[in-house]
Amino acid sequence: MNFDHSNTPSRILALLLAVLTPCALAEAQNTPAAKAAIKWEILDNSFLVEEAFNQEAGVVQNILTWTRGRDGAWDGSFTQEWPAPGMAHQISYTLPFAATGQATGIGDVLLNYRFQLRAESARGPAISPRISLILPTGRENDGLGSGAAGLQINLPASKQFGNFYLHANAGYTWLPDVQGTPQISGSGVWRMTPALNLMLEGTVEFQDSWTVSPGFRRGWTLGAQQIVIGIAAPITRADGQSTAALLTYFSYEVPFR
């Protein structure tokens, strides 16, 4: 029997949303409006899927992620997000690094700008489009970079349904004379307790790969500071093979005035 894999990524993401959406809607129906409006203690701390919330004025967020595959290869990134000067505008940079098996070093740096186009309301999601400049800082010969400057755009949307949050992204990465890759992603986050969330994320890079990643995150608010740690187990399908990895996440938000 022949099986058509051409629509597999779209089917995976559709299945992910099909599982999460009824749960979120049921939660919203069973949750009083006053409870649904309670601000989440952990909010802008997803691992693979971008949430549509900018940094509030006077607070900087430092994010460190690290992923290790079963073959011993690993990659990570450090991101720092700044309000500019309030929530309407946000600037950030992402510094990736990796060990490919052939070399270890810095990848292609991203300089990011995100605009809070729409704040979340009872009738609609938060929307915060982002544009990033990709700098060819990674060594192409060692597999650490693309060798070309490029652009990345992403449109995240986020909506709360009681103790559930749903997030959706649509984006495109353009590297001239190298590749252009459309991406879609989605996630569901369940607030088990005010400071403990279970997560299920999924991403698709068309004609390239797809990833499904279950995980959790735990936060601590210490006055004006917040620490969030997380662990996930992303499973990626690419080039006809499936691979599993371990992802760790650390975030530290601190006031700067």
In a domain, 74, yes or no: yes
Cis peptide before 85 (omega within 30 of 0): yes
Residues 92 and 82: beta-carbon distance below 8 Å: yes
Instruction: Give every CB contact of residue 69 below 8 A, 6+ residues apart in sequence.
Output: 243, 244, 245
pLDDT in tens, 54-68: 999 999 999 999 999
CATH code of the domain containing 246? 2.40.160.40
On the CB side of 100, how many CA atoms lie within 13 Å of its CA?
A: 16
pLDDT in tens, 104-120: 999 999 999 999 999 99
In a domain, 150, yes or no: yes
More confident residue, 21 or 183: 183
Q: 87, 128, 136: which is closest to 111 by C-alpha? A: 136
Q: What is the mean pLDDT of the chain?
A: 88
When pLDDT is averaged across residues 151-176 and rounded to a whole number, the result is 97
In a domain, 142, yes or no: yes
In a domain, 1, yes or no: no
The amino acid that residue 160 corresponds to is Q
The amino acid that residue 36 corresponds to is A
- φ/ψ of 203, rounded to 5, equals -130, 150
In a domain, 37, yes or no: yes
Q: What do you get for the CA distance between the two ends of the chain, in Å?
A: 64
What pLDDT is attached to residue 165?
A: 97
Q: Is the pLDDT of residue 90 over 50?
A: yes
CB neighbours of residue 78 within 10 Å: 15
Cα–Cα distance, 158 to 186 (Å, whole number): 10
Domain that holds residue 138: 8-255
How many domains are there within the chain? 1
Model pTM score: 0.85
Tokens found for residue 146:
């693309």
What pLDDT is attached to residue 239?
A: 86
In a domain, 3, yes or no: no
